[in-house]
Structure formats: structure tokens, C-alpha cells
Amino acid sequence: MSALPLSGIKILDLTRVLAGPLSAQMLADLGAEVIKIERPGGGDDARAFGPPYLKDPEGKQNNNNSFYLCANRNKKSLTVNIAAPEGQEIIRELAKSCDVMMENYKVGDLKRYGLDYESIKAINPGIIYCSVTGFGQTGPYAPRAGYDAILQAMGGLMSVTGHIDGEPGAGPMKVGPSIVDYMTGMNSSIGILAALYHRKVNGGEGQHVDVCLFDTVIAALSHYAQIFLVNGQTPPRRGTWGNGGMPAGVFRCTDGELMLVVGNDGQFQRTCAVLGAPELATDPRFVKNNDRVVHGKEIMAIFAGLFLKKPVAYWLEELEKAGVPSGPINDFSQVFSDPHVRSRGMQVKVNHPLQPDLSLIRNAITFSGTPVKDYRAPPLLGADTKDLLATIGYDEAKVEALKEKKIV
């Protein structure tokens, strides 16, 4: 069995909250050594983002909550006050031996400390320096801070998300989880990996990688945004309706709901047969997918009445037999008890100091030759400070002196 894909890559991670930490976590899963820099005392801002927290055996408050735990496995935690000259020197010393440095401070903030790209490049010309921000390193909004929900709004995602106009509760709606943060983390990882490859095949040249939430959400709107670029019209909110094949959406049954996507004309014919209405497949309004899109409200209303006749399990079984894509609308309990999810090992166990069998979500990438099998729990705040400082020549006495001054 080969080593993990990124074994030997060393990353200095100054990111906080979610997008940057998720990217660094992805790279850590793949074998990179990731040194997470946190503020002494408080740590990553995510540690204060509310309950639930792990239970301390002694009942003491702690800073290991779900928000932090989801994005920081397989890392080492080093506490450093980068506002102090001694802290800045620690970062620069560490950066000398790193392949990658990541940060998500406001544009220009780290220049005050001599930790910007140009300063780090001067001591390590091969460094891949990735900046993750709300709005990017250039443009009129560059100085602004940005959070996921703000970018969902500004980037157009909320304008096309929500109930259909005219329905109760219609209007712009935010996607539940911090999806723009997650996608930005993926883009950051892709950018870093591409820059590492470029450096390897082009003589050791490093570069600055600029990734932001605003660019990411606009690019992620994909075919929706392309509709506007083609005809100048923003697509309407579609609720749970699908984005291509019709009919597609949530249908209520006698005991719950299911999601159906009829992707082509053959699937439509088979669905009509399952629903006991084969005549719909030859109705001139519905024969072709484009016809069904034009008459979407009509076919969706007809299907809605038919699905109300039987329970979810019956329809899912029959649709599966007919080769029509459908599925239940699962809550998280159902997701993690699903036999397919369990067989794919999406829930992994790690040994955390506060919970020996802590559950985490595994990395979603599966390799045949270099599988990701071992996961380490997200570190306690500053857990690796002493060991990491020793690698750059700081003995125990010097570390203790820095602790007294609250530098580490």
C-alpha cells in the first residue's frame, strides 16, 4: 500500500471558521502535515460558534464544538499571537520549511505583520500561499469581510432558491448549511494542488492563490447563471422542482414525501405506468420533455394527485423496479442509518480526549491505491505547541517564557 497522496507536504494553516479550515482538512486527510495556528486563549473563532459542545468529564466548559470539529481533523494545533513580533517570527520560521501557507484574513491585514505573500515569498520562494476571503484580493469589495449567508445573497443563490412565486412563504431563501464555504474550501484545495503540481514540473516556482466566496458562488450557479447570460432573464425560484427533466420534485404520499426526478422521455413513460396512468405518456402536452417543461404546473399537479394514493415505500419500490430515479427525504438519523451510507463508511470514529469514540464524517474521496483510512481527532487548543516549536529550535525554557507573555 502506498503512502497517502500528499505525504511529505507541509502546510501552515492560518485560516479560521469554515472555508479555509475545510480546505486544510481535506489536504490533511490526504496526508499533508497541517499546522493549525490559533490565538492563545480563544483559538479559532469557530470554537465559540455555539453548542453542542463535547462533554468535559469534569463538567468544565470547553471549546470543542460541532462547528470546530467538522473542519479540523488530522491537524496539529499551535497557539501563536501573530500580533506580537515574537509571534510573527515564529510564523516566519515555520514558513521557511513549509510547502503551503494558507490564510483568510482581511486583505492587507497580514502585511502589517510581515506575513503577507511577498514577505513570505522573500524567505521561501517556492511557497504556495493561498488567501481565502469573502471578495478576493482585488476589486472594490476586496476590503470587506464576508460570511457564507452574505455571499449566498449577493452572489445570486438566494434569488433562485425558495418556494415558487405565488406559493405560501415565497421569496428568497438561504440554503441550509454553509454551502458556499464548503465549495470555497474545495476550490482552495484544487488551487493549492494545481499550484503544487505546477511548482513540481516548472522548476520550483511558487505563487499566490486567490480564492473567494463571491467568485465561488457565482461560478457554482452554473447552468442557472448561464440562462441569464444567454437570454438576460433570471430563472424563477422552483421550490423542490428539478432543474432539467420534468416532472421532478417532492410529492406527498399517504404517509410522507418522496423526491422524484424524471430525466428523459423513457422514464416518463415508465413512471406513468407505475402511477396507473399510462395514457399521460401519449398526451400531446407531455410527450417530450420540453413539452412537459412548458406544461410543468399541469403535469406536476396531476402527479401530485396520483402519488397521494399510496405510501412512500410502495412508490419507491415500484419506481426502483421501473428504473426511475427517486428517493426518500431523509433526516440525519435516517442518513447515517442508511445501509448504503454505512457500507460506504461515511461515519468514522476517532479517539478524542473528551470522547473516546467521537463520530466524524469521512473524506468523500475514495482511492484504490492510497486510501484514507486513519483519522485523528481535531486537536485541543494548543495541543502541539511545545512539539512544533521544538522543530524550529525553541527549548522548553523559551516556550515557557513565551507562554508567560501570552505569545503562545
Q: How many helices, marked H, and strands, marked E, lie in the chain?
A: 16, 11
Residues 153-189 have pLDDT tens digits of 999 999 999 999 998 999 999 999 999 999 999 999 9
Q: Catalytic amino acids?
A: 181
Angle at 307 between CA 306 and CA 311, to 5 degrees: 135
Residues 334-349 have pLDDT tens digits of 999 999 999 999 999 9
pLDDT for the residue 230: 96
**pLDDT confidence bin for 60, thresholds 50/70/90:** confident
CATH of 10-220+346-404, one of 2.40.50.140, 3.40.50.10540, 3.30.110.40, 3.40.50.1100: 3.40.50.10540
* Contact call for residues 162 and 240 (beta carbons, < 8 A): no
| Alpha-carbon gap, residue 403 to 35, rounded angstroms | 19
Name the residue ranges covered by the structural domains of the chain.
Answer: 10-220+346-404, 248-335
pLDDT for the residue 242: 84
DSSP letters, 178-234, are -HHHHHHHHHHHHHHHHHHHHHHHTTS--EEEEEEHHHHHHHHTHHHHHHHHHHS-P
**Nearest to residue 391, comparing CAs of 78, 164, 173, 109?**
78
Residues 360-405 have pLDDT tens digits of 999 999 999 999 999 999 999 999 999 999 999 999 999 999 999 9
pLDDT for the residue 58: 85
**pLDDT confidence bin for 24, thresholds 50/70/90:** very high
Instruction: Provide the sign of the torsion angle of the four alpha carbons 387, 393, 396, 401, taken in this order.
Output: negative
pLDDT for the residue 1: 52
For the domain made up of 248-335, the CATH class stated in words is: alpha beta
Same fold, 10-220+346-404 and 248-335: no
pLDDT for the residue 204: 84
Residues 196-220 have pLDDT tens digits of 999 999 988 999 999 999 999 999 9
343 CA to centre of own chain: 22
| Alpha-carbon gap, residue 82 to 14, rounded angstroms | 10
Amino acid (one-letter) located at 224: Y
For the chain, the helix, strand and coil percentages under 3-state DSSP, each to the nearest 5: 40, 15, 45
